[in-house]
């Protein structure tokens, strides 16, 4: 049995990670990465306009300390280059990591959570991908986790597969993320999570548990999630299939603004096929169903969407994309809002 760590997670978890190395000398490196994009988009309920798709810039430094130990630091900021007068930069990531050849990897700061190592299996297309993972993801630790301490390691069993695991802890937190302020006036206690994956013959199975108490209006409850995933292949290289399912409590946003579902089931399916010339076709389907109150018999569909998308690499660092997302959630006479977009992304 050969013991290994996950690939040094200095690079982004994005399927397309490109960076420019600015300095490399005596075990020290410094690089710049990220991407910018522009797109034309519209919807049934809105006007056609120009937008951007999650542009960001990051800087990463590494230092080889010897004896198999590497320390790294990364800062990443979202960029606003379309709306004058608003904040130009907002923090996405900021952490320091320590990696050893066999002892594993520890990270402190705002980072991609171990939970996302499992849940991110379907969060691949550029235009329309997973949404429910980002419901208050900073405080809940489902995406980019605020102020987290994490540890990851793994074991390579050669032809018998590969097993990886991750652990995460967040201290008390009384704020929500700007992307989805699902709730207000909530105080989160310590949060814990564990993530497990096993890969063999191109198939990866995953499970993650995320839990922690919170207080709102004098009442105390638990926000927790149990999520499983399965994936086959590598996105952007031939056939890729993935699916995730989560059984959640106090994790997902409901239909009404500011309301969190006390119980919810969330899942997403993704199928993609990339030709040898990089032309990549995909279809994904996402649903969130649940209850505002556990004792209630009334269930609601908070989200039901399906998207058809295509991506093409005009150059290694320039990708064109287009997509159309069908809003299928017409329950209770709700007005649907199909969306479309076409644009390009340039990787720094």
Q: What is the pLDDT of residues 112-160, one digit of tens each?
A: 999 999 999 999 999 999 999 999 999 999 999 999 999 999 999 999 9
The CATH number of the structural domain formed by 2-347 is: 2.40.160.10
Q: How confident is the model at residue 176 (pLDDT cuts 50, 70, 90)?
A: low
Report the alpha-carbon distance of residue 41 to residue 74 in Å, rounded.
Answer: 32
Q: How confident is the model at residue 184 (pLDDT cuts 50, 70, 90)?
A: low
Structure tokens belonging to residue 285: 């389907």
Instruction: Report whether pLDDT(180) > 80.
Output: no
Report the alpha-carbon distance of residue 330 to residue 42 in Å, rounded.
Answer: 19
Distances (CA, A) of 109 to 45, 90, 151, 169, 297: 39, 15, 12, 11, 41
User: Comparing 120 with 177, which gets the higher pLDDT?
Assistant: 120
Instruction: Report whether pLDDT(1) > 70.
Output: no
Phi-psi region of 26 (alpha: psi -120 to 50; beta: other; left: phi over 0): left
CA atoms within 13 A on the CB side of 202: 9
Q: How confident is the model at residue 334 (pLDDT cuts 50, 70, 90)?
A: confident
* DSSP β-bridge partners for residue 105: 99, 152
Choose among 327, 269, 331: nearest CA to 300.
Answer: 331
* DSSP β-bridge partners for residue 24: 29
Instruction: Report whether pLDDT(254) > 60.
Output: yes
Q: What is the pLDDT of residues 257-281, one digit of tens each?
A: 778 999 999 999 999 999 999 999 9
User: Exposed/middle/buried for 151, CB within 10 Å: 0-12, 13-18, 19+?
Assistant: middle
User: Comparing 181 with 242, which gets the higher pLDDT?
Assistant: 242
How would DSSP label each residue in 198-262?
Answer: EEETTEEEEEEEEEEEEEETTEEEEEEEEEEEEEEEETTEEEEEEEEEEEEES-SB-SSTT-B-S
- Rounded to an integer, the average pLDDT of 206-216 is 96
Q: What is the pLDDT of residues 217-232, one digit of tens each?
A: 788 999 999 999 999 9
User: pTM here?
Assistant: 0.91
User: How do 69-79 and 56-66 pair as beta strands?
Assistant: antiparallel
Q: What mean pLDDT, rounded, does the chain reach?
A: 91
Q: What is the pLDDT of residues 51-100, one digit of tens each?
A: 999 999 999 999 999 999 999 999 999 999 998 777 889 999 999 999 99
Choose among 54, 9, 6: nearest CA to 34.
Answer: 54
* Predicted pLDDT of residue 305: 97
């Amino acid at each position: 049995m050969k013991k290994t760590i996950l690939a040094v997670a200095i690079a982004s978890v994005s399927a397309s990670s490109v960076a420019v190395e600015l300095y490399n000398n005596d075990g020290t490196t410094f690089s710049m990465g990220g991407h910018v994009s522009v797109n034309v988009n519209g919807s049934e309920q809105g006007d056609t306009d120009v937008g951007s798709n999650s542009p960001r810039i990051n800087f990463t430094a590494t230092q080889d300390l010897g004896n198999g130990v590497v320390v790294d630091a990364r800062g990443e900021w979202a960029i606003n280059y379309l709306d004058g007068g608003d904040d130009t930069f907002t923090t996405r990531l900021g952490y320091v990591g320590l990696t050893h050849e066999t002892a594993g990897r520890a990270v402190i700061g705002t980072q991609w959570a171990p939970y996302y190592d499992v849940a991110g299996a379907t969060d691949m297309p550029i235009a329309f991908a997973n949404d429910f993972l980002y419901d208050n993801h900073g405080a809940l630790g489902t995406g980019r986790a605020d102020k987290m301490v994490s540890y990851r390691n793994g074991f390579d069993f050669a032809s018998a597969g590969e097993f990886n695991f991750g652990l995460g802890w967040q201290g008390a937190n009384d704020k929500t993320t700007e992307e989805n302020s699902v709730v207000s006036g909530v105080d989160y206690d310590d949060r814990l999570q564990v993530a497990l994956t096993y890969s063999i013959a191109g198939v990866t199975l995953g499970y993650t548990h995320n839990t922690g108490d919170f207080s709102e209006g004098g009442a105390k409850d638990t926000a927790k999630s149990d999520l499983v995933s399965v994936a086959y292949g590598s996105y952007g290289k031939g056939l890729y299939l993935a699916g995730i399912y989560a059984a959640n409590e106090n994790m997902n946003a409901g239909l009404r603004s500011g309301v969190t579902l006390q119980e919810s089931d969330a899942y997403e399916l993704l199928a993609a096929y990339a030709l040898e010339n990089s032309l990549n076709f995909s279809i994904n389907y996402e649903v969130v169903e649940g209850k505002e109150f556990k004792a209630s018999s009334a269930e609601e569909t908070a989200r039901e969407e399906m998207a058809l998308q295509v991506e093409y690499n005009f150059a290694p660092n320039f990708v064109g994309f287009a997509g159309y997302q069908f809003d299928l959630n017409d329950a209770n006479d709700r007005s649907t809002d199909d969306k479309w977009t076409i644009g390009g992304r340039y990787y720094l």
